[in-house]
Amino acid sequence: MFTATKEIIIALDEGTTNAKAVALDGRGNVVARFSQPLAIQTPREGWVEQSGEMLVSASLNVIAQAVAHVGAENVAALAISNQRETAIGWYRSNGKPLNAAITWQCTRGAGFCDALRRDNLEQQIKAVTGLPVSPMFSASKMRWLLESVPDGQQLAEEGEICLGTIDSWLLWNLTGGAQFSCDYSNASRTQLLNLQTGQWDDEMLKVFRIPRNALPEIKPSSGLFGYTRGLPAIPDGIPVMSMVGDSHAALFGHALGEMGCVKATYGTGSSVMAPVSTAQCNIESLATTIAWHDGERLIYGLEGNIPHTGDAVAWMADSTGLSELSEKELTHELNTLPASVDSTLGVYFVPALTGLGAPWWDSQARGVICGLNRGVKRAHLIRAAMESITYQIADVVVAMRQHSDFTLTALMVDGGPTKNDWLMQYQADLLGCPVMRSDVPELSAIGAALLARKALTQVSVQEMKAFLALHSEFHPDADRHQRLQARWQGWRDAVERTLWKPTH
């Protein structure tokens, strides 16, 4: 029961490289944080996996540390945000994994996906699930898991095998095997969910040969999932009150899904996600997904993924010798060099280092630096790399405008590169809209905790605005916005040089 003395929500943010537990008080402030690194295995080229037992052990460990720190008597609930698309299977009888958890980065399902394309199923799959055919999504991984053990298909059909995303695996272990559920956001990343009905789709189950008996029950992201049970350092009876994919949780943590507030996470790559109210799936260059179910209604999300943003700056820093500096010196240079010159002198850097992501989706594209002249120095090249981040995000926003109810009133940003004020101002001027930078780094945990608090206290989304984290604001300059449109067109011309064109 939620009371004034029992107000702490502990949010587990189970990512790819770290498991973090964040304790938030009744006002939504972070009062404690604990983290444990997670190992990744690459047993073959293109294979990326993690030990399922290790994911559970690390997650339970950081939760236990948080509980001990705040006192079990003060914990009202647990909340979970998790790495998306990673799939795992386990035996229902004893909870032992069939195999390692296959992460979202793993491409072992590529051959199966190629066969789907040859059978001309991609358009049907995109129309039903909102997702393009790709080994990133969970269904092809689940197919592989069933084929990795003797009689896997038969056991799954008989309900003896469980297949799930990481939220369902964590819930199973937190509740001592009592609950087998996932939330709408994670279900929508499997390629097995019908976006219109919000249920597992019979045709997709046939396409991927996944028995319905092996899949978890789908529940709202905000609501009761079960109670802790049988854990050595975590008391029985703590309710799990929310589960949601990490990128979706960050979007909720920024602005509670307010229409027009589009999220961009700046990291090695970038995820741009916008809340929308309808499951329109006809934009080829973007994915449509379920952002969350807040206990009252489904909110959809429109998403574009970019593989090289912060990675582009890292590559350029390495190529120009900056990576030889100390971390402190490197950060200083990256913060000051772009502003030390008035322009790039016409240079563009298109960082298609392993191909282009949204909205181009050309895996054969390769990077280009064009417009070089005798006056170009290191500062111009670093600035070109920084500008490439803003152009790629702006290109995704343009693609999003094809959606019937997409609006952009502010770009809500998070991630390491957003600490660069020059970059944020350039992004605001390019898009012609405010850029709102989160002042706290734990947005995924905060978003999951807010969904749990909504379920606990039965407050409206409007009333939850008081719990939102602070943001720094960057407002666009109207004159500069107009001038940058020509630069943006020059960027598009540079992108054309990278695109793969077959020779005949």
pLDDT number for residue 178? 96
pLDDT number for residue 440? 85
- Residue 390 binned pLDDT confidence (cut-offs 50, 70, 90): very high
356-366 average pLDDT score: 85
- Residue 503 binned pLDDT confidence (cut-offs 50, 70, 90): low
pLDDT number for residue 490? 96
Mean residue pLDDT of the chain comes to 93
Cα–Cα dist 288/195, whole Å? 9
**Strand-pair partners of 102:** 49, 87
411: burial class by Cβ within 10 Å (0-12, 13-18, 19+)? buried
Q: Which residues contact 272 (CB under 8 A, 6 or more apart)?
A: 262, 263, 264, 265, 303, 304, 305, 306, 358, 393, 396, 397, 400
Please tell me whether residues 231 and 320 are part of one structural domain.
Answer: no
pLDDT number for residue 502? 59
Please tell me whether residues 377 and 240 are part of one structural domain.
Answer: no
Q: State yes or no: pLDDT of 473 exceeds 50.
A: yes
pLDDT number for residue 75? 96
Please tell me whether residues 242 and 262 are part of one structural domain.
Answer: no
Residue 445 lies in a domain: no
Distance of CA 62 to the CA centre of its chain: 21
Please tell me whether residues 237 and 137 are part of one structural domain.
Answer: yes
Identify whether the C-beta of residue 367 lies closer than 8 Å to the C-beta of residue 349.
yes
Q: Where do the DSSP E strands lie in 179-237?
A: 181-183, 193-194, 199-200, 217-219, 222-227
Q: Which residues contact 477 (CB under 8 A, 6 or more apart)?
A: 429
Cα–Cα dist 34/410, whole Å? 31
Residue type, 59: S
Q: Which residue among 247, 274, 291 closes a domain?
A: 247
Q: State yes or no: pLDDT of 469 exceeds 90.
A: no
Q: State yes or no: pLDDT of 214 exceeds 70.
A: yes
Please tell me whether residues 58 and 181 are part of one structural domain.
Answer: yes
Pair of tokens at residue 235:
């008391």
Residue 459 lies in a domain: no
Q: Which residue among 247, 270, 297 closes a domain?
A: 247
Q: Which residue among 210, 226, 247 closes a domain?
A: 247
Cα–Cα dist 164/160, whole Å? 13
Q: Give the residue among 407, 444, 439, 445 at the shortest CA–CA distance from 424.
A: 439
Over the stretch 42-78, which tens digit does the pLDDT of each residue have?
898 888 899 999 999 999 999 999 999 999 999 999 9
Please tell me whether residues 288 and 310 are part of one structural domain.
Answer: yes
Q: State yes or no: pLDDT of 397 exceeds 90.
A: yes
Inter-CA distances, 156 with 90, 147, 148, 369, 446, Å: 10, 11, 12, 51, 36
467-493 average pLDDT score: 94
Residue 350 lies in a domain: yes
Please tell me whether residues 213 and 261 are part of one structural domain.
Answer: no
Q: State yes or no: pLDDT of 144 exceeds 70.
A: yes
Rounded to a whole number, what is the largest CA-CA distance in the chain?
73
Number of domains in the chain: 2
Stated as kind and residue range, the H or E segment containing 360 is none
Residue 348 lies in a domain: yes
Residue 288 lies in a domain: yes
Identify whether the C-beta of residue 192 lies closer than 8 Å to the C-beta of residue 205.
yes
**Strand-pair partners of 472:** 437
Q: State yes or no: pLDDT of 153 exceeds 50.
A: yes
pLDDT number for residue 1? 41
Q: Is 347 strand, coil or helix?
A: coil
- In this prediction the pTM is 0.90
Residue 455 lies in a domain: no
Please tell me whether residues 184 and 262 are part of one structural domain.
Answer: no
Q: Which residues contact 447 (CB under 8 A, 6 or more apart)?
A: 81, 244, 248, 249, 250, 251, 252, 253, 254
Residue 327 lies in a domain: yes
Over the stretch 116-132, which tens digit does the pLDDT of each residue have?
999 999 999 999 999 98
Q: Give the residue among 386, 399, 410, 426 at the shortest CA–CA distance from 473.
A: 410
168-172 average pLDDT score: 98
Q: State yes or no: pLDDT of 452 exceeds 90.
A: yes
Q: Which structural domain range is residue 215 located in?
A: 8-247
306-319 average pLDDT score: 90
Q: Which residues contact 322 (CB under 8 A, 6 or more apart)?
A: 330, 333, 334, 378, 382
Please tell me whether residues 265 and 167 are part of one structural domain.
Answer: no
Omega before 132 within 30 of 0, i.e. cis: no
216: CATH: 3.30.420.40
Please tell me whether residues 192 and 300 are part of one structural domain.
Answer: no
Residue 449 lies in a domain: no
pLDDT number for residue 5? 62
Please tell me whether residues 239 and 116 are part of one structural domain.
Answer: yes
> How large is the angle between the packed helices 110-118 and 138-147, nearest 10 degrees?
110
pLDDT number for residue 227? 98
Please tell me whether residues 169 and 288 are part of one structural domain.
Answer: no
Among residues of the chain, what percentage have pLDDT more than 70? 98
